[in-house]
Amino acid sequence: MKTMMTLVACIAALLVAGCKGDKRSLSKGEIKSVWEQVSDKDTIRIRGIGAAPASIKSETQRRGMARNAALVSARYEALALLRGIKLNGGLTIGKLMETDSRIQETADRVISGMEETQVEWASDGGAVVLLEISRDKVEKMLGEASEADANGSPAPLPGLEARNGVGRP
């Protein structure tokens, strides 16, 4: 319980930071030399870059593979961000995730709750995706996880009702 509350406090502190910037990653089909921070006070945004193997001849397949690779890259960046948060005594969330499956589940919920809001195609066939999640949604997920931890029951899956019209049994 104390570990989950510490996680909630640390992620909430992380969410306070951020500045608004240009969300475009490409200029004239090329990746910009300098990217500005894309998160702001209301939304966390993560970019991912991907490319398809050069041996793929079909543009449709190249674009699909590049987009998928960029999504994996963005989710990896989101996980790296969460894992690197340091708690009291130098302990990181990454270390806690190794010993407490509830923390891993909460991080998974946050990452899977991120929505793909933008895909940009580079002139070389690569892709840059932008994933985002509202800070309110993250805080709600953390609150649900904290409440579930206090009650000893699993937290409901976010958005399940919206997808299939039924809640968790």
pLDDT tens column, 65-95: 999 999 999 999 999 988 888 887 888 888 8
pLDDT tens-digit series, residues 139-154:
888 777 767 666 665 5
Neighbours of 143 (CB within 10 A): 13
Residue 33 has φ and ψ, to the nearest 5°, of -70, -30
Query: H or E segment at 117?
Result: strand 115-121
pTM of the complete model beyond 0.75: no
pLDDT tens-digit series, residues 18-38:
334 456 677 776 666 566 667
